[in-house]
Structure formats: C-alpha cells, structure tokens
Amino acid sequence: MTSTNNNSTDLVNIRDLLPEDIPILPLVIRPIFPNILTPIAFTGEDFLQAIKDAEEHYNGFIGLVFVKDIDDNDYFNSTLYDVGTVVKINKVTSISQDSVQAIVFGVERFKKKKVVPGNSRLCWKVKYNKENADSSIELKAYMLAIMTSLKEIFEVNPILKEELKLLVSQASYDHPSIFIDFVSSMLKAEAKDLQELLEEFNIVNRSQRLLTMLKKELEISQLQAKISKQIEDKVSKQQKEYFLREQLKLIKQELGLEKDEKSAVIDKIVDKINHIHLSPEAEKIVDEQLEKLSLLDQGSPEYHVARTYIESIVELPWGVFSKDRLDIKKAKTILDRDHYGLEDIKNSILEFVSTVIKTGNVNGSILCLVGPPGVGKTSIGKSIAESLNRKFYRFSVGGMVDEAEIKGHRRTYIGAMPGKIIQALKLVQTSNPVIMIDEIDKIGNSFRGDPASALLEVLDPEQNKDFLDHYLDIRYDLSKILFVTTANQLDTIPRPLLDRMEIIHLSGYILEEKLQIAQKYLIPQQLKAHALDNKEITISKNALKFIIDKYAREAGVRTLDKCIRKIMRKVNLKIAEGNKEKVRINENNVESYLGAPIFTTEELYQNEIPGVTLGLAWTSMGGATLYIEAASISNKESGLKLTGQLGDVMKESAEIAYSYIRSLLAKDATATLPTETKEFFDKNRVHLHVPEGATPKDGPSAGITMALALYSLATNTPIRKGIAMTGELTLTGKVLPIGGVREKTIAARRVGIFELLLPKDNKKDFDRLPDFLKTGITVNYVDYFTDVINYAIKK
C-alpha cells in the first residue's frame, strides 16, 4: 500500500461525486481505510458483476465493509459491520471468468442508514463522514506522539524502515486525517481492532486510539527483537564454538597431539585387545571387523554397527577370573550371619562350595533352590557368591517368552544386543561369577520362542563350554560360571532343564524360627531403614509371636517383614506429630498398629462331627492344613458329588476313596456293622466338599483324608480331635508315601496340631527332620487304611 498523490482539491472533487446509494462488497481479511491506494481481489460471479455495476452505474464507486459473522456458503448473506469505506475504482488490473483484481482508492468513511430494497445485489443508503482539517493543539500533540512512536518502532523493526521514513518525512499537520489513516493501514493489529479504529469518526479520539495501538505494537516489536537477539546470540555462540573446536582439532592433528575420532576409536580398541586374551576365533573376527571399520565413513550407519559389535566383543572378560576364597570356615560364617536355621541347606551348600574350592571348577553342577516365597532363596545365592569371593549377578526369567533374551538377537535386527548371560559377563568383568536365574519355574513359552530350551545350552556343562550367542556369533566358555536357579515349585520346570540341576529344597519356617529371624534380622534392618533406635521403640517377644500367628502365617517371612515395616512407619508418624515417649509394642496394642488379625483360627470345628477330617497339604507357598467335609442326602440314586475347585488328581482320589469305603463296608466279614451302615451308600447320595471353594486344589496326598471322612460319615462316628493326616490311597486300601513331609509338619505345628498320621514309608523322611520340628509331635505310621481307622476313629 502506498499513499495517494492526489492533492486536497482532487479529494474534494471526488467526494462531491459520492452517491447516496452504493453497492456493498463484504471484506473477510481486514477493513480498508480512506485516503489509501489499495489493491483488492475477489473470486466469484457475484463479486465480478458487482465491480462491473459499480463502473457502469455508480461512477466507479463501491462500498467495502468488514464481515462480523461470515457465511461460508454465501458471503453476501454474512453479517456486516455498519461502518465501511467507500472506494473509487482506479484500475481493473485483471479479470477472468470468476475472479477480478483491481486497484482502488479509499475516499471516505460511511455509516449504513438502511438497505436499499429491490436491488438484485446488496445496496445500502449511507451517510458519509466528511472530515475537515483540524489544527487544534491537542491533535498536534497526538500527531507528534504518533510520529515519536513510529520512530521507536523503526528502531526495533527495520522491515518498515523505508515506509516509515517516507511517512515521517511527508507528515503534515494540514491533513492529519490522511496521516492517521495511512498509519492505521500499516498496523499489524487484529482486524476487529482496526474496525473499531475505522468506526471512530472523531479525529481526536481516533488519534488517541491509534496512539494506544502503536504503543502496543511497539511492545510486541521490542519483545520480538529481544527474542530474535537471544536466538541469534545463541546460534552465533554455537557457531563460534564449533569453528573454534574444528580449528583446534586441526591444529592438534597437525602438531601430532591428537588423532581424528576414527583413529582414536581404533587405537582404543587395539589397546584393549592387547590387555585381554581373545580366543583364536574371536581374534580373527575382531581383526576382520577392525579392517572393515577403518574403511567405513564415520557418518555411515554400518560404521556404528561395526563399532558397537567390536566393542561388545573386546569389553567381555576374556581370560579374566576372580580368585576363589579357599576358606570353608569363612563360608560357614557368612551363611550363619545371613541366615537363621536351615542347617541341612547350609550343609548342602558348604559341601558344594568345598568341592568348588578343592577342584577349582563347578564340575557341571547347577544348584536349584526350591521353596515358598520369602524363605531366602535369593539371599542364599548372594551368600554363596560372597563365600567364594565371586561377583554376583541376578536376573529373572519369570514370564520371559523370547529366547533372544538368553541367546541374543541376530545382528540383522535394528537395536540388536547380546543375551542376558553375555550382558552379565560384560557387567561383572569376570568369567567365573555366580549368576542367579530367578523364577525359573515361571519361564514362558510362545510363538516368539522357547527360552527354556535356550537355557539348556547355558546350563548344560557339556554345551556351555562353547556357548554361542547369536549377536556375538563367537563361542564363549561359560563352564566356569556357577549358576544358581530359584523356583517355587518343580512341576512347571521343563524336565530336560530340571535334569541338569541339583535340587535343594528350602521349606518354610515355624513360629520359633520366625521369632528368631525377626529379632536378629528383620527388626534391626527396619530400625536402620526408618532411622529409629531401641530408645524410641521396642517390640516385645509376645507381640512378635502374636504378629506371626495372627498376621504372618505364610511359609516365608516377607509378610512378617511388611508388618514390622508398617509398625515402624506408624511410630515415625507419632514422632513427627510430637510424641517424645518411647513406643512399646506388646500383645495388647498390636492391633492398633496392624488392624484386626487376618487369621483367627484354622480350627473351624470346636466339636467332633462325623464326616469331617483334617488333612495336610503341600502348595507352592509351603505347607497348609485342609479340612474335608462329607454329608449325605437320602436318595434312591446313590452317587458322589464333589465341590471345592478340585483338580483332576484330587477328583480321582475322591472317587478311589468312595469306591474303596463302599467296598469296605459292603464286605464286612465280621458282621459287626449294622445293616443300615452297610447299605448307607445304596440309600444315600454323598457330597464331598473341601472348604475355601475359591482356592484351586490338587495333589495325590488327600486319599486317606477323604476316605476317612466318608467312613466317619457312613458309620456316624467322629474323628478324634487334634489329629491330622496325609497319604495316598489305592483301591485295595494300601497307603502310599507322599512328599513334602517337612512342609506338612510345619503346617501342623503352626495351627497347634501335634498328632499326625503318615504313610509307613515316610518314616525315614520324618526321622531326617531337625529335632526342633519333631519335638512334641506324635506320629502314627499307617500301612493300610484299617490302620488309619484304628488310630483316628474315636472308640
């Protein structure tokens, strides 16, 4: 936009020709001001025809009005402001089938009086605002202030430099309205604000509004200039630093003080190779890769792949071994320090450690620590590593479904990396660490691979001497590594994997053991973790017994540790609230810290009831007691109904027990049983239920318990109180041995049962138990079910 060259006389002449009725065109971008020569462009048949009508019937005059609410379908139906600018079409520069471009001169403001009816196009009757020169002192002051603001904008915004110079040089107090309109047309303000400026007919008020908008424009320009300068300074600084670094690098290279990056990387790798003992295979591949690396450009993706691969090889501890500690007494001290009880476990580990110390290798043995959660399997692995003075690395394979996690990814993949074993060696920097593989019984298997099978090569002593990781593609000797695995149960471990491991069972703890563990280990650890000492809190022995019995009956000590932690947190809260007195936790106030007891009693029945027996079961969480109930329903159709979420094995045990007891009663040779007892199963339908129906149960050791419940029901004789049993039953009444004697004994002691019925063939297992487990327990060994009846049925 440029200012018009017409003099004031020409303007007066043009204004005298202004018609009262003028055609109207809507503007959608911004309003147009008077006294300005402006190019315009419109698209559409209606706009084209309106321009033609203005030239033919209105002496080239047409009104341009800014749109308030636009109608996208028809611009002429849009809501318009009442004030616009009448323009004179100076020249039509371009015209086509549906568009027109022209140069127009803004003549005068106008205000809508009314819409002229009967026109095919939009036409208004308008009132013009014919301004006269005003030379008041106030207006001159505003003009001076506007020019000052323009000069300030010119200083911070060089883009408007030439236009502002021209404007300031031609500024005249004789025609302030022309000057103000020209400045207004240059503003980058919102279209709505410009419309308000256009609607201001009073020139003094318009000058005031324009000055306010210029001040705002100046603030924005200053802020933009500040931001631009900050960015420019930052970029200039980075460029300067970059050029200086490059110059410094070249100077150092010329003086022989520094090599280029690629040479430095290769020299570093070569220096590393000189300090390790690569295998012949690895040495050959590294030499080939180094030659390839020297030929590749640093910006090439292959360069980074080759560099990462070589570094992965040379960072492994080739030929590096830690020296084993040859002190079995020290090993015993460490095990005793870290673990209470577990004497048989400790002896097995000490035997194993002594063999490693004597022979200098692990002899292909892989330990598998099996036991319930929280009994200390992982911490035993750490103790073994400390006993041997070896580095320790642990990772879990629980839920792992990708064999590449074990054997590495092939280098064809983006983001390929070695497997967990190679990563462990790279981290510990020794070729004979203790590596613990946790949760091996929970390893996954899917269409993506079978990591359990991949572990075979890792754990098999005949194969791991030449372990081949897919990423390295170089054989590495794993035979010096001591592998220790952990599991909660053996059933889910694949048989080929299980055959390669030496099993060590860790059973749960009884109340006395948990009490000692809490006093010697858990409480001191939690006191330290919570920044407390014995002057601030004490937990009595009876309180610990109460916590163990009522809140933490599981096989391990993890829940017991959580309970102690919860108490410590509550004590810290009391101290923070200003309590200065020592907190004493006893049996009477434990509930105020831990809430209502979780376990009340497992003795569901206070009275002896026919058809109810107490069995002993083994689970992955340790031993447990299990009630079995039998009830009869008089029915012509006999049969057996089972409930309690029983697995297939327990269902078969129940059917065997049902068949055996029914056969036993029917063949009563002594005729000592009444007729109704012999015919009990013919006239009654029996329902056998195992409580806690939401808990799945399975296993072969509930045979005699189920059979005794059915016998007790049929003969209407209760079982003696305080007795629990376990054993597998055959159809001939033979009682077969079971597993988990230790866990089941612990479960019985935990609930106060001290008389047990065990299969005769399990006598050796019970005799091997520690004395503190056997003390006070009476065991009756049974060979046939008739022995069970003799011991258990109340005479």
438 bridge partner residues = 396
Q: How confident is the model at residue 256 (pLDDT cuts 50, 70, 90)?
A: low
* CB distance 102 to 89 below 8 Å: yes
pLDDT of residue 621: 63
pLDDT over 80 at 608, yes or no:
no
pLDDT over 60 at 513, yes or no:
yes
pLDDT over 80 at 200, yes or no:
yes
* CB distance 38 to 106 below 8 Å: yes
pLDDT of residue 4: 40
Q: How confident is the model at residue 501 (pLDDT cuts 50, 70, 90)?
A: confident
* CB distance 396 to 405 below 8 Å: no
From residue 463, alpha-carbon distances to 152, 190, 479, 565 in Å are 83, 78, 9, 46
* Other Cβ atoms within 10 Å of 755 Cβ, number: 17
pLDDT of residue 670: 47
pLDDT of residue 775: 86
Could you give the 3-state DSSP secondary structure of residue 509? coil
| Spatial distance between the Cα atoms of 179 and 143, rounded to a whole number of angstroms | 9
pLDDT over 70 at 572, yes or no:
yes
| Spatial distance between the Cα atoms of 46 and 59, rounded to a whole number of angstroms | 19
pLDDT over 80 at 156, yes or no:
no
pLDDT of residue 783: 93
pLDDT of residue 260: 61
pLDDT over 70 at 606, yes or no:
no
pLDDT of residue 364: 61
Q: How far apart are the first and last CA of the chain?
A: 119
pLDDT of residue 6: 44
For residue range 83-112, what is the model confidence (pLDDT) as tens digits? 999 998 888 887 877 788 888 888 888 998
pLDDT of residue 13: 65
* Residue 708, amino acid: L
Average predicted confidence (pLDDT) for the chain: 82
pLDDT over 70 at 734, yes or no:
yes
pLDDT of residue 168: 61
For residue range 439-449, what is the model confidence (pLDDT) as tens digits? 888 887 766 67
412-445 burial, b for 16+ CB within 10 Å, e for fewer? eeeebbbbbbbbbbeebebbbbbbbbbbbbbbee
Which whole number is the average pLDDT over 495-502? 85
* CB distance 17 to 54 below 8 Å: no
For residue range 674-731, what is the model confidence (pLDDT) as tens digits? 777 777 888 888 999 988 765 677 778 889 999 999 999 988 888 888 899 999 999 9
pLDDT of residue 669: 46
Q: What percent of the chain has pLDDT over 70?
A: 90
Q: How far is CA 775 from the centre of its chain?
A: 49
Catalytic residues: 701, 744
Q: What's the 3-state SS for 537-604?
A: EEECHHHHHHHHHHCCCCCCCHHHHHHHHHHHHHHHHHHHCCCCCCEEECCCCCHHHHCCCCCCCCCC
Strand 723-725 relative to strand 755-759, pairing: parallel
Eight-state DSSP code of residue 619: E
Q: How many residues are recorded in the chain?
A: 795
For residue range 332-376, what is the model confidence (pLDDT) as tens digits? 888 888 877 777 778 878 887 788 777 767 666 788 888 888 888
For residue range 482-492, what is the model confidence (pLDDT) as tens digits? 889 999 888 88
| Spatial distance between the Cα atoms of 697 and 695, rounded to a whole number of angstroms | 6
* Other Cβ atoms within 10 Å of 765 Cβ, number: 17
Residue 714: half-sphere exposure toward Cβ, Cα within 13 Å: 31
pLDDT over 60 at 258, yes or no:
no
| Spatial distance between the Cα atoms of 38 and 27, rounded to a whole number of angstroms | 13
pLDDT of residue 257: 58
Could you give the 3-state DSSP secondary structure of residue 757? strand
pLDDT of residue 3: 42
Among candidate residues 680, 695, 687, 657, the one with its CA nearest the CA of residue 788: 657
Q: What percent of the chain has pLDDT over 90?
A: 13
Residue 556: half-sphere exposure toward Cβ, Cα within 13 Å: 19
**The CA-based dihedral angle spanning residues 184, 190, 193, 195, taken in that order and rounded to the nearest 10 degrees:** 70
Find the range with the poorest average confidence among 215-219, 228-232, 560-564, 742-746.
228-232
Among candidate residues 733, 721, 735, 722, the one with its CA nearest the CA of residue 763: 735
Eight-state DSSP code of residue 402: -
Q: How confident is the model at residue 5 (pLDDT cuts 50, 70, 90)?
A: very low
For residue range 750-764, what is the model confidence (pLDDT) as tens digits? 778 889 999 999 999
Q: How confident is the model at residue 550 (pLDDT cuts 50, 70, 90)?
A: confident
pLDDT of residue 736: 92
Higher-pLDDT residue of 61 and 346 is 61
pTM: 0.60
For residue range 277-334, what is the model confidence (pLDDT) as tens digits? 888 888 888 888 888 888 887 777 788 888 888 888 888 998 888 888 877 888 888 8
Find the range with the poorest average confidence among 396-400, 603-607, 686-690.
603-607
| Spatial distance between the Cα atoms of 555 and 549, rounded to a whole number of angstroms | 12
pLDDT over 60 at 1, yes or no:
no
* CB distance 3 to 182 below 8 Å: yes
pLDDT of residue 581: 86
pLDDT of residue 602: 53
For residue range 209-235, what is the model confidence (pLDDT) as tens digits? 888 888 888 888 778 778 877 777 777
